[in-house]
Amino acid sequence: GRGDKKSAFPQVRLVVLAECGTHAVFAAATGPCTVAETVLADTLLPRLQPGMLLLADRNFPGFDRWKAAAATGADLLWRVKSDVVLAVREQYADGSYLSEIYAARDRRRAHGQLVRVVEYTIADHEDAGPIRLITTILDPDQAPAAELAALYHERWEVEGVLDEIKVHQRGPDVVLRSRYPDGVEQEVYGFLLVHHAVRQVMHQAAAQAGTDPDRMSFTRSLRVVRRQVPAQAAFSP
């Protein structure tokens, strides 16, 4: 449980790295609910590689986490909170600007990290305030501000991933059966492996059909796979 709240069922916190285009989870970290998401996220950073673009919401940015993630060679596009001070160092034609971020302990601001800032608002949206993104891609020609703003909202694809696993694959109102931490972790990774297998099948089918995996139904694909499972019972794993 979290704090003084207790539950009759096993509880676990899960943080994942997922590919937006295919919904494939390629890295995951689990821990007790008392462990913060950011702590689990830090253990996933070594899985990043050059050529990746990591999207993250405003709960994750921190100087040390940003520096560690950028050191992997991956590019970053993270949302920051509206009260973060980002001084304008250079203004670009696309509306973005060059700035620096600092560690809270760096009171003299002597060891900053260069970032590019993209600010925008979304009309008639519940999040009416300005949205501020920081990125390691400092060249506006490489990634114009409008493209980054549109791309950031792909981050919500991970919410679909979690919905697929928790609601459709596991089933509504179904709890983890294991009583002990090792069993709970094993069960979670079982769900993740099955999800990855279904998504791989969907990716292969989409490639053969020449369509986007996003246009395929996860629930229908899951039902097809479940119907095929009994037919494979005679084969060795």
Cβ neighbours of 96 (radius 10 Å) = 26
pLDDT band, very low/low/confident/very high, at 172 (cuts 50, 70, 90): confident
pLDDT reading at 109 higher than 50: yes
| DSSP states of 4-17 | T---SS---EEEEE
pLDDT value, residue 209: 93
Confidence of residue 107 (pLDDT cuts 50, 70, 90): confident
More confident residue, 131 or 227: 131
**Residue pLDDT, tens place only, 76-95:** 999 999 888 899 999 999 99
Q: Which residues contact 10 (CB under 8 A, 6 or more apart)?
A: 175, 176, 178, 179, 183, 184
Domain chopping of the chain, boundaries: 50-154
pTM of the predicted protein model: 0.85
Q: SS3 string of 48-69? A: CCCCCEEEECCCCCCHHHHHHH
For residues 41 and 65, is the Cβ–Cβ distance under 8 A?
Answer: yes
